[in-house]
Chain A
Amino acid sequence: MTYTIEGATGPWEVVIGLEVHAQVISNAKLFSGAATTFGAAPNRQVSFVDAAFPGMLPVINRECVAQAVRTGLGLNAGINLVSRFDRKNYFYADLPAGYQISQYQHPIVGTGTIAIELADGSTRDIGITRLHLEQDAGKSLHDQHPTKSYIDLNRAGVALMEIVSEPDLRSPEEAGAYLRKLRTILRYLGTCDGNMDEGSMRADVNVSVRRAGEGFRTRCEVKNVNSIRFVIQAVEAEARRQIEVWESGGTVEQETRLYDPARGETRSMRSKEEAHDYRYFPDPDLLPLVLDEAWVAALRRDLPELPDAKRARFMRDFGLPAYDAGVLVAEQATADYYEHVARGRDARLAANWVIGDLFAALNRTGRSIATSPVSAAALGGLLDLMADGTINGRIAKDVFEAMVDTGADAATIVEQRGLRQVTDGGAIEAAVAGVLANNADKVAEYKAGKDKLFGFFVGQVMKAMAGKGNPALVNATLRRRLDGG
């Protein structure tokens, strides 16, 4: 089903392409040795190269190149063994050299694909046009002084990967799924932390609308959207704006726009006429970037297992449904956690516990998988107590909550609180006898054919046994006593 927006004159399709700026994880900047830690005091991570002092020259950081290659490989993309750096010239106070070193004509990574998963369980391949390396600019702070702007160059020169998609996305949901998937891949690769709230991943969103069966109409670029939620909102707001323009007889002009989340609308930033002429030309301070094929092969060999492969393996080896597998691989830490719990145990039961109880507990306590109050080993221990009959499933829920609250392991809690499952036939026999004696009227009703009351008797027995009765034995005993077996 193609996603459409209903206009006054009929349905419109939405066409979306994304340009994602992903900050490279590296100790030093792309062309200088200055550090890259987030949150340092202003202008404390600035070399003379970053500040574009006279006579300073860029030298490429090999690790940043490796990160870009790893990312390209993770996106199933071609690696260009020869690429080139160009200067993108424009004046701004937080761009010290008056140009950004970027890759314009010859990027380091060529075409690739990302498979996105949609809510209905379907998947779609989204084309990647290219990935190139470039420098980030500094930050202008306009709110520190009534008449002056302050400049922080800590970010100036930090390596970015610009990852450009084909205009293959067709709905806000797909745009969101693309960003989530891209972020997952980057995090698996360890090439970008994907933290949009810290600005280490930002998206420029290209949007156009069209009637079914048409070619592309003019697009607008919504710049610098900094959360997946806002990307989804911006696509919809911009698409609706364009539909209104077309339907009122106007023409959508190619321009750069900004999304205002407070008002839920986009507004013009600069028109095509005001667009910068960046005067790109090859940076004469840098030689072409030539990669050794063997080096690329070594990077490929050392890639971690990526989400799609892991998901397929979880489905195959652990018998998980696609949805569960997808949820578990979305974060590498979750996948690792799950695998630790599942190994040698009932893997589907382990998946239910991780996706259900654990996620709920993390949500409730505001923790992440990395800081989970229940370790994978501890959750595994709980599953083991269920498997060997020490506790039943109902008690396990209580034990788990106690583990979340206290951090103690399952066995300790079971011992301390005396939650061990009762499998002693005599004790169950006595509890059943007591319940039947106290509910003679219900027993009569049951025997008269009201079968549904069986569950009532089970509940009463378990209650009498403080939930610790072995459910199978309780059931069998009740059957025998009630049905006269």
Chain B
Amino acid sequence: MRDLTIAAARTALRSGALSARELTDAHLDAIAALNPRLNAFITVTPELARAQADAADAALRRGAHGALTGIPLGIKDLFCTAGVRTTAASRILGPFVPPYESTVTARLRDAGAVFLGKTNLDEFAMGSSNMTSAFGPVTNPWTRRGDNAPLVPGGSSGGSAAAVAARLALGATGTDTGGSIRQPASFCGIAGLKPTYGRCSRWGIVAFASSLDQAGPFARTVEDCAILLGAMAGHDDRDSTSADIPVPDFAAACTRGVRGLRIGIPREYRSDGMAPEIGALWQQGIAWLRDAGAEVIDISLPHTKYALATYYIVAPAEASSNLARYDGVRFGLRAEGEDLTGLYENTRAAGFGAEVRRRIMIGTYVLSAGYYDAYYLRAQKVRALILSDFTEAFRECDALLTPTAPSAAFAQGEKMDDPVTMYLNDVFTVPANMAGIPGLSVPAGLDAQGLPLGLQILGRPFDEETVFAVGTAIEHAAGFTAAPAAG
């Protein structure tokens, strides 16, 4: 039952072959059994989930179902959920329980979804391994062949990706600031989409870097991602950056096929240091699309090499300002001090982990008088060039195909010594955030150690439909059916 896709579960629920309560209980039982080891959920809300499931069953009996009635989901613990503790995986939020519901989760709830709980993440979504969570690391349900060393699920939305991969939820929400949906999707062998910036409202999502943050779905199939996005997306007048454009039928777009589409292969993504298996999989993906009737062309994105450095100026700059509100005055953790400065220092020292502190310091530095022009302002200029690279590329092609991440999942504890090594995980995903364009990671194969690898499809702004169509083609060609041992 937990192996069902969202599409199949919907059919079963609507036909009465399956009840929402059964489906929810099955997932809650699995969470109870596996979460102690995987740590994918920070908070599980069984009472709430069962109540929502019962309401879903009642709605189904009345025939008054929504797009997701009875579908159990995990919610990244960066989305504020009314009455349910929201932590951002940080100590600084303390026992904070939001009195409001984020727009995205409110839409999912209105569509009938069942919320199983809040999933783990890197603290304030800052990380690519889920190792920076104040609630402990998430363990990837996948392991290397013949090796039980616990692996990271990627990050920052590691809990969501692990939960979906381990069959603890049919789908989950994530947020993607520099790859935080796509990289964990790749590491966990599932599909994950970062929509166009502005497609989903940011209202009620704890902010990391406002100009880059975008909510998106995780699921085990591309079509399921499309179904979830359809419920999450749409204009919200409470978010000034949310786009006032219609939400198309994303699921219908999945079956469009790729015949006649022009797929660009950005040559700058082909680095000398690329793992051979990643390169081979990429070539395989190109062949699959060509076989499916797409025209594959070589494309140049000349400013790609600056994207990561630029990202690590823009994102920390915005974060340093966004995180100033965690000061111990109004909500969350408070560590008393001699005076106001002492209160700030004690609260923030006790509340923020090392990576968050590092990024606040980097961000404060690049915005400081005397450094602003050299760092932040220059980064904004480079960002404009990166966007224009994509704009130019999309004059010639309809979508781009790249690897999602430079490696498969690594072991917990690896790459921890040098933050820059960790930051390199985002090298293929960051450009899409800088440009605001949609990006989808689709599981495409296993490496020699039996770990999943993903391919990334990038599309024009607000053309998630083409991205889904190409993703579906890859998915079908890859025939990826592998599942992790834990699940």
Residues of A close to B329: CB separation below 8 A:
93, 96, 151
- List the one stretch of B14-22, B94-102, B420-428 in contact with chain A: B94-102
Assess the B318–A279 pair: CB atoms within 8 A: no
Q: Is B80 an interface residue (CB 8 A)?
A: yes
Beyond contacts A58-B240, A89-B324, A93-B329: 11 other A-B pairs, Cβ-Cβ < 8 A, are A55-B202, A55-B203, A55-B207, A57-B239, A87-B321, A96-B325, A98-B321, A98-B327, A279-B372, A284-B210, A285-B240
Assess the A284–B240 pair: CB atoms within 8 A: no
Residue with the highest number of chain A CB atoms closer than 10 Å, among B237, B238, B324, B368 = B324
| Binary B-proximity of A74-104 (CB < 8 A = 1, otherwise 0) | 0000000000000101011100111100000
CA distance A101 to B4 in the complex (A): 48
B residues at A contact (CB < 8 Å): 79-80, 86, 88, 93, 96, 98-100, 102, 202-207, 209-211, 237-241, 317-318, 320-321, 324-325, 327, 329-331, 340, 344, 364, 367-369, 372, 376
Give which listed residue, B86, B203, B321, contacts A57 with CB less than 8 A.
B203
Assess the A287–B368 pair: CB atoms within 8 A: no
Residue with the highest number of chain B CB atoms closer than 10 Å, among A53, A54, A96, A285 = A54
Assess the B364–A57 pair: CB atoms within 8 A: no
Residues of B close to A437: CB separation below 8 A:
none
**Nearest CB to that of A33 among chain B residues?**
B238
Instruction: Say whether, besides A60-B240, A151-B329, A279-B364, A54 and B80 are in contact (CB < 8 Å).
Output: yes
Query: Distance in Å from the Cβ of A319 to the closest Cβ of chain B?
Result: 54
Q: Is A51 an interface residue (CB 8 A)?
A: yes
Residues of B close to A387: CB separation below 8 A:
none
CA distance A93 to B344 in the complex (A): 9
Assess the B376–A54 pair: CB atoms within 8 A: no
Q: Is A48 an interface residue (CB 8 A)?
A: yes
CA distance A329 to B122 in the complex (A): 64
Assess the B202–A53 pair: CB atoms within 8 A: no
**Nearest CB to that of B332 among chain A residues?**
A54
Assess the A99–B240 pair: CB atoms within 8 A: no
Assess the B209–A284 pair: CB atoms within 8 A: yes
Instruction: Say whether, besides A54-B86, A55-B80, A287-B240, A98 and B202 are in contact (CB < 8 Å).
Output: no
Q: Which of A209-229 contact B (CB under 8 A)?
A: none
Q: Is A385 an interface residue (CB 8 A)?
A: no
Q: Is A52 an interface residue (CB 8 A)?
A: yes
Instruction: Say whether, besides A48-B99, A284-B210, A91 and B344 are in contact (CB < 8 Å).
Output: yes
Give which listed residue, B205, B330, B340, contacts A52 with CB less than 8 A.
B330
27 A-B pairs with CB atoms under 8 Å apart are: A52-B325, A53-B331, A54-B86, A54-B88, A54-B98, A54-B206, A54-B207, A55-B102, A55-B202, A55-B204, A56-B203, A57-B239, A57-B240, A59-B239, A89-B324, A91-B324, A96-B330, A97-B325, A98-B325, A99-B321, A99-B324, A151-B329, A277-B368, A279-B320, A279-B372, A281-B372, A285-B241
**Nearest CB to that of A53 among chain B residues?**
B331
Assess the A59–B240 pair: CB atoms within 8 A: yes
Residues of B close to A89: CB separation below 8 A:
320-321, 324, 367
CA distance A279 to B239 in the complex (A): 24
Residue with the highest number of chain A CB atoms closer than 10 Å, among B80, B96, B102, B240 = B240
Residues of B close to A99: CB separation below 8 A:
321, 324
Query: Distance in Å from the Cβ of A61 to the closest Cβ of chain B?
Result: 12
**Nearest CB to that of A283 among chain B residues?**
B210
Q: Is A286 an interface residue (CB 8 A)?
A: yes
A residues at B contact (CB < 8 Å): 48, 51-60, 87, 89, 91-93, 96-99, 149, 151, 277, 279-281, 284-287
Assess the A286–B327 pair: CB atoms within 8 A: no
CA distance A392 to B204 in the complex (A): 75
Query: Distance in Å from the Cβ of B207 to the closest Cβ of chain A?
Result: 7
Query: Distance in Å from the Cβ of A159 to the closest Cβ of chain B?
Result: 16
Residues of A close to B320: CB separation below 8 A:
89, 279
CA distance A277 to B372 in the complex (A): 11
Residues of B close to A51: CB separation below 8 A:
330-331
CA distance A284 to B322 in the complex (A): 10
Assess the A93–B321 pair: CB atoms within 8 A: no
Assess the A97–B203 pair: CB atoms within 8 A: no
Query: Distance in Å from the Cβ of A44 to the closest Cβ of chain B?
Result: 15
Query: Distance in Å from the Cβ of B7 to the closest Cβ of chain A?
Result: 30
Give which listed residue, B206, B327, B364, contacts A55 with CB less than 8 A.
B206
Assess the A57–B202 pair: CB atoms within 8 A: yes
CA distance A104 to B203 in the complex (A): 25
Instruction: Say whether, besides A277-B368, A279-B364, A55 and B205 are in contact (CB < 8 Å).
Output: yes
CA distance A55 to B105 in the complex (A): 13
Query: Distance in Å from the Cβ of A30 to the closest Cβ of chain B?
Result: 13
Assess the B237–A48 pair: CB atoms within 8 A: no
Query: Distance in Å from the Cβ of B75 to the closest Cβ of chain A?
Result: 13
CA distance A246 to B185 in the complex (A): 69
CA distance A98 to B325 in the complex (A): 5
Query: Distance in Å from the Cβ of A235 to the closest Cβ of chain B?
Result: 29
Assess the A54–B96 pair: CB atoms within 8 A: yes
CA distance A51 to B327 in the complex (A): 12
Assess the A54–B321 pair: CB atoms within 8 A: no
Assess the A285–B325 pair: CB atoms within 8 A: no
Residues of B close to A60: CB separation below 8 A:
240
Give which listed residue, B205, B239, B325, B367, contacts A281 with CB less than 8 A.
B367
CA distance A58 to B203 in the complex (A): 10
Assess the A91–B206 pair: CB atoms within 8 A: no
Give which listed residue, B102, B241, B324, contacts A98 with CB less than 8 A.
B324
CA distance A246 to B96 in the complex (A): 56
Residues of A close to B203: CB separation below 8 A:
55-57
Assess the A59–B205 pair: CB atoms within 8 A: no
Query: Distance in Å from the Cβ of A153 to the closest Cβ of chain B?
Result: 8
Query: Distance in Å from the Cβ of A356 to the closest Cβ of chain B?
Result: 55
Residues of A close to B368: CB separation below 8 A:
277, 279
CA distance A26 to B320 in the complex (A): 32
Assess the B240–A281 pair: CB atoms within 8 A: no
Query: Distance in Å from the Cβ of A291 to the closest Cβ of chain B?
Result: 15
Residue with the highest number of chain B CB atoms closer than 10 Å, among A59, A96, A280, A284 = A284
Assess the A57–B238 pair: CB atoms within 8 A: yes
**Nearest CB to that of A285 among chain B residues?**
B210
CA distance A279 to B368 in the complex (A): 5
